[in-house]
A and B are shown apart, each in its own frame.
Chain A
Amino acid sequence: MSFLIGNPELVRNARAELRPGRLLAATAICAALSLAIGYSMAHIHSPAENFLKLVLFAQVFALTIGGGTACIHAIQREKDQNTFYYQRVTRLTPLELTLGKLFGSPALAWFVVLCLVPAGVYAAVVSRIRPSFFVAAYALLVLGSICFHAFALLLSLLVKRGGATAAVLLLLLLLGATSGDSAQQGAFYLRPVSPFYAAKLVQGSWDISE
């Protein structure tokens, strides 16, 4: 873990992404969103459970779309600005660069997820869902998102200079194919491990073979 925390590439990305102004704005938006959703759900059937699902959806959107786009731009921007040359003449290893970009580029998206966690915990407590399901939902959210970000990073590496828009579209296509309710398994049977499935999980039913 210290290998990750001391990673220069991670520190650089975190510094660029997590400026105080951005953090303040993200916190305010998340707080307002939580209050608005909570208030609008106060009068429906099992509001806490639905609130939790919505919070999870918001977190998944932040990570997949926000974080995924950030990962797409991570290597593309280096290519466009020729900054890759200077990274390659340092003593950073390819693994350090990859991990730094994987966890550093979507730093703001992870911060948004963190901001929404209190709302999620509150809803979980009120709705009395089993703690194991709640933890499993977040584990799926985190692991699924990391896989998704890794795929976005790979796209960023493979797509030619200036091809970021095409890569984002491809990423959205994959997201749609693995998250919809209409297809039972989703594309490539990935739906049960899609980060979107975290919301399904808190309903207390999840089966990898579903």
Chain B
Amino acid sequence: MIRLDNVTKVYDAPASLHMIVAADRLTLEIPAGEMFGLVGPNGAGKTTTLKMVTGLLVPTKGSITVNGIDVEREPEHAQRYLGYLADFFSLYDDLKVWEYLDYFARAYKMDRGTIPRRIDDLLARLGLEPKRNAFIAGLSRGMKQRLGIARTLLHDPPVLVLDEPAAGLDPKARVELKQLLLELHSAGKTIFIASHMLSDIEELCSSIAIMEKGRLLHVGPLKDVMRQLTEARRISIRLAGPGFALADWLAARTGVRDVHADAAAAEFAFTGSDAELAELVRALVAADAPVCGIEEVVETLEKLFSRLSMGEVM
């Protein structure tokens, strides 16, 4: 559905006389119906990438197609398939909620007869019906974000490009947004989402790309990317009390690395198989260690990403 082929974007930076490569030879394919997450630190090139996908920025090199349509060559045609939500609200404060949606419905050249019903549907779906005649200036942040999403969905595009959609929302609004995105995904929309909320990305997306300094470091299904980033599974062992030199005992075992221990607990990376782990536990119990708990630590995307950005994994 979305295809980036060797896309590069270079900005001029007149003050420093250097070129800034915001996107460096990006090649990516997002199939129809996928919820795809793009993660990376600030300045990684995420917003530039999304803007190029929506046609707001023209790539220096390479091509981007949406539903087979070249975004650069046929921008007006491509817009029929794209809904874009930027990382800022940018609404017309002097319009009423329904007027704002009506404006964009006309701007997307929707059939005039269908516009009122479509606006009614979206206002009801996004809980904006009570605010229909309210001026946008008086809306809360959450309401403004909902209105932005309503605008994105107005012309029923099959592809949604969302840049930090949860930014600045309170926890309740975030939960509602996630629910809405899941509904849209199950309705068959292709969703390309960039976010700092890694827990949300992990919960929502089936595939991700990790971007840094304009380059895609890892791309693929979420589980595969996490497996690539996780060199060894992490195991946590808890003892009933202090008195056993757990750290020293573990450090002497094969397959055990990166031990972090305190008086009665330890966490370590283990490269062996399940059988080897079972053997390790058996040996620990045989050594009279008062083992009262053992579990595999579930690595979250957030933890992996913070380790990645500290250079622990690449």
A contact residues vs B (CB 8 Å cutoff): 6, 8-9, 11-12, 15-16, 81-83, 85-93
Contacts and interface: CB of A to CB of B under 8 A. Distances in A.
Nearest to B51: A85
B108 A91 contact: yes
A85 B108 contact: no
A86 B79 contact: no
A92 B56 contact: no
A89 B56 contact: yes
A92 B56 CA distance: 14
A12 B95 contact: yes
Nearest to B90: A82
Contact of A85 (B56, B94, B106, B109): B56
A88 B92 contact: no
B107 A16 contact: no
B144 to A, nearest CB: 12
B90 A8 contact: no
Interface string B92-118: 101100010011101111000000000
A9 B80 CA distance: 18
Given A16-B94, A83-B91, A8 B107 contact: yes
B76 interface: yes
A124 to B, nearest CB: 36
B79 A83 contact: no
- CB-CB nearest 6 A-B residue pairs: A8-B106, A90-B107, A82-B90, A16-B94, A12-B103, A8-B107
B86 A15 contact: no
B166 interface: no
Given A12-B103, A89-B79, A81 B54 contact: no
Contact of A89 (B84, B88, B92, B99): B84
A91 B82 contact: no
B80 to A, nearest CB: 7
A82 B88 contact: yes
Contacts of A8: 103-104, 106-107
A89 B103 contact: no
13 contacts: A6-B106, A8-B103, A8-B106, A8-B107, A12-B99, A12-B103, A16-B95, A82-B88, A83-B92, A85-B86, A88-B56, A89-B54, A91-B107
